Amino acid sequence: TNLGSLLTKIGVHDFQSLCADFPNAHTLSRPTDIYRVLLTNVLAKLTGCDATLIYESIQLPNTLPNGDLVLPVPRLRLKGPKPNVQAVELAASFPENQPLFQRPTASGIHLPFFFTPKSLSHLILPYLFERHEAYGRDLTMGLDSSAPTERRKKIIIEFSSPNIAKEFHAGHLRSTIIGAYIANLYESMGWDVTKVNYLGDWGKQFGLLAVGWERFGSEELLAQEPLKHLLDVYARINALFKPEEEENKKARAEGRDTSEIESRGLYAERNAYFRRMETGDTDAIALWQRFRDISIDRYIATYARLSIDFDEYSGESQVKTATVDAVESSLKEKGVYKEHDGSWIIDFEKYGFKGLGTAVVRGRTGSTTYLLRDVAAILEREVKYNFDKMIYVVSCEQDLYFKRVFRTLELMGRSDLAGRLQHVNFGKVLGMSSRLGNVQLLGDILDQSRDAMHDVMRRNTTKYAQVEDPESVAESVGISAVMVQDMSGKRINNYPFDITRMTSFEGDTGPYLQYSHARVNSILRKAGLTRQEVAEHCLRNPASLEEQFSDTPHCVNLLRLIAQYPDVTAAALRNLEPSTILTYLFRLTHQLSSCYDVVQVTGTNEGRDVMLNRAGLYEGARQVLENGMRLLGLTPVNRH
Ligand code: ARG
């Protein structure tokens, strides 16, 4: 293989046979695993420890000064002196002139290892340039090792899932951003991904919308701005409905019978219309279908601005009566379904599920509930997709709800299926609508962010004059601003929507990330070099790279960071936190900008070879930056 010959050139022989002992080493996708294998080999000879134990003990330090790999010595459980003494002894006996590792110096009970500059030039950069956009991906992660023939594992990611004729709120925005990222991540790891948008397109509110349409609907407005018009119709009828709803709530609180209230006015109209929908009345269904189709049409166009496309627009309306019946009869059969006050409930507490309370599964008026539809939808997806895993990307406000969904499956005797489901949650965005003004649709959020970004760009008049298509740059950078703000912290954290901060070019923001990419991208252009010739140069002349960089710590550190990227994506697949990638990208851009002062590509009169070497370093960093940005769903802007 190429890897074998890269390693032979720096004096590592017979790598293939060494690897046989480490089935968990992903040496073709994670270069640090090559180092791990070789380090384990050296340490096994020194200590006589079991190779697997050593391999599993080697960790990734969290900052560059702490090394590229680190061994906490106590993990080896060696007999003899105290671990800090052992660490010193191990360091002293570590063989001289290892091609991949510098002599370590003990640091307490830790033994930090630093990659040699030689290996960074001879191994890491060529490794990257053999892979380009595939660097950081690992298609073997999605392979089912238990299957007799090669099979990719199937995952469904359900995200965004707005409600038709209702506001697209911050929760939907976060679900969209995080969900698309998780879908990209699984795809880049070789899983077969299906992206599902589970629309809120059913329920009594559609009865109310239809009643509103009879009064306030306009075909003309529906054709012009369908989403806005449906929102408007719903808002108007809902305002009329409010007093009746209040009256009903009050009666219920006082323990009075509410059937009289519900038998007249908009209540009666709404319920009657929804009844017609649930019983399949042709006209009622046709109107609902029109609203649904028109809405999906507009959604598709808006998601395209974020480069998101769904494989399936499903929704609460799509579950079949037969499946709903199957869920209910299973619940009855298991004896967990109880009739109570005309509705059907599950008392989760009774089955030892503390804190889950009691949930209504079929309502008093005989209609299905959100919960019942969700459980039925799972059974249908199981048949349709035979998935290995399904992830719901939904706000933490629905934590309790999803616990109930999963537990319901268990109570039905489907623990096997429940075990394949995961709710990936996230916290709140504070003050989005108040800061952005009138935002009700995804398109509004994106428009306003674009406009705010455009204003910031205009403030730098000289730069602004050079931008070719400011409107489209403002669109991409504005979207990055929103997305980076969202992905900066742990998912579960709440954060304030801060337009000034997110559109700033200073600090760890989307515009800064875009600026960093555009700047590094301009280096080759200004030097008149193509990516291809730079990559080829680096593949052919590693010795010249080494000579160039080994004495420049800024460059060495940049290469060390580049080497880590595939470990970062692997960690991201475990925790599903976008911030894992983003934090890394900011470290990379900061390191990059510290290189600009010391390593110039153009205007140095040092000859073409030097120029190509240096361009190679920047092109390598650019490629990793681009890979990370695309993984997050950001579209790199090439000029700034
Ligand atoms: N439409 C729902 C809402 O806006 C989100 C749907 C989440 N997915 C699910 N399968 N329940 O709250």
Question: What is the distance in A from the centroid of ligand 1 to the CA of 29?
Answer: 36
Cα separation, 19 vs 25, in Å, equals 7
How many C-beta atoms surround the C-beta of residue 263 within 10 A?
A: 10
The reply to whether ligand 1 has any atom less than 6 angstroms from the CB of 161 is yes
At 165, the amino acid letter reads A
Q: Which residue has the tokens 């990734």?
A: 60
pLDDT score recorded for residue 37: 97
Q: Atom of ligand 1 at shortest distance to CA of 398? A: 12
Q: What pairs with residue 196 in β-bridges? A: 158, 312
CB-CB contact of 337 with 346 (8 Å): yes
Q: How far is CA 248 from CA 81, 205, 257, in A?
A: 77, 16, 9
Give the 3-state secondary structure percentages of the chain, helix then strand then coil, rounded to 5: 60, 10, 30
The reply to whether ligand 1 has any atom less than 6 angstroms from the CB of 374 is yes
The reply to whether ligand 1 has any atom less than 6 angstroms from the CB of 353 is no
Q: Give Cα 282 to chain centroid, integer Å.
A: 41
pLDDT score recorded for residue 640: 56
Q: In this structure, what token pair is assigned to residue 28?
A: 């073709």
What residue owns the CA closest to ligand 1's atom 10? Answer: 374
User: Left if phi > 0, otherwise alpha if psi is -120 to 50, otherwise beta: which for 280?
Assistant: left
Q: Please, what are the averages of pLDDT over each run of 10 residues along the chain (640 residues)?
A: 88 91 94 97 96 97 97 96 96 95 97 97 96 97 92 98 95 98 98 98 94 97 96 97 96 91 94 92 97 97 97 96 97 96 95 97 89 98 98 98 98 98 97 86 96 96 93 96 98 97 97 97 95 95 89 95 98 98 98 93 87 95 98 88
The reply to whether ligand 1 has any atom less than 6 angstroms from the CB of 163 is yes
pLDDT score recorded for residue 250: 95
The reply to whether ligand 1 has any atom less than 6 angstroms from the CB of 198 is yes
Q: In this structure, what token pair is assigned to residue 236?
A: 């108007």
Question: What is the distance in A from the centroid of ligand 1 to the CA of 227?
Answer: 18
pLDDT score recorded for residue 2: 86
Reading across the β-sheet that carries 389-393, which strands appear in turn?
312-315, 192-199, 154-158, 389-393, 421-424
Q: Atom of ligand 1 at shortest distance to CA of 374? A: 10
The reply to whether ligand 1 has any atom less than 6 angstroms from the CB of 200 is yes
How many C-beta atoms surround the C-beta of residue 410 within 10 A?
A: 16
- Closest alpha carbon to 500 in 444, 443, 586, 436: 436
> What's the chain's length in residues?
640
pLDDT score recorded for residue 361: 97
Q: Ligand 1, residues 394, 397, 399, 400: which to mutate, most atoms within 8 A of Cβ?
A: 394
Give this prediction's pTM: 0.96
DSSP 8-state class, residue 115:
B
Listed in sequence order, the residues at least 6 apart from 483 whose beta carbon sits closer than 8 Å to its beta carbon are 177, 510, 632, 633, 634
Cα separation, 360 vs 369, in Å, equals 8
CA atoms within 13 A on the CB side of 417: 21
Question: What is the distance in A from the centroid of ligand 1 to the CA of 173?
Answer: 12
Q: In this structure, what token pair is assigned to residue 627?
A: 């890979």
The reply to whether ligand 1 has any atom less than 6 angstroms from the CB of 101 is no
The reply to whether ligand 1 has any atom less than 6 angstroms from the CB of 394 is yes
Across the chain, which distance is largest between two alpha carbons, in Å? Answer: 91
Cα separation, 329 vs 207, in Å, equals 27
Question: What is the distance in A from the centroid of ligand 1 to the CA of 225?
Answer: 24
Question: What is the distance in A from the centroid of ligand 1 to the CA of 282?
Answer: 27
Active site residues: 166, 169, 172
The reply to whether ligand 1 has any atom less than 6 angstroms from the CB of 288 is no
CB-CB contact of 380 with 286 (8 Å): no
Cα separation, 163 vs 12, in Å, equals 59
- Closest alpha carbon to 108 in 80, 62, 73: 73
Q: In this structure, what token pair is assigned to residue 346?
A: 């599950």
Phi and psi at 80, nearest 5°, equal 110, -145
pLDDT score recorded for residue 541: 92
What residue owns the CA closest to ligand 1's atom 5? Answer: 161
Question: What is the distance in A from the centroid of ligand 1 to the CA of 580?
Answer: 26
Q: In this structure, what token pair is assigned to residue 162?
A: 């707005």
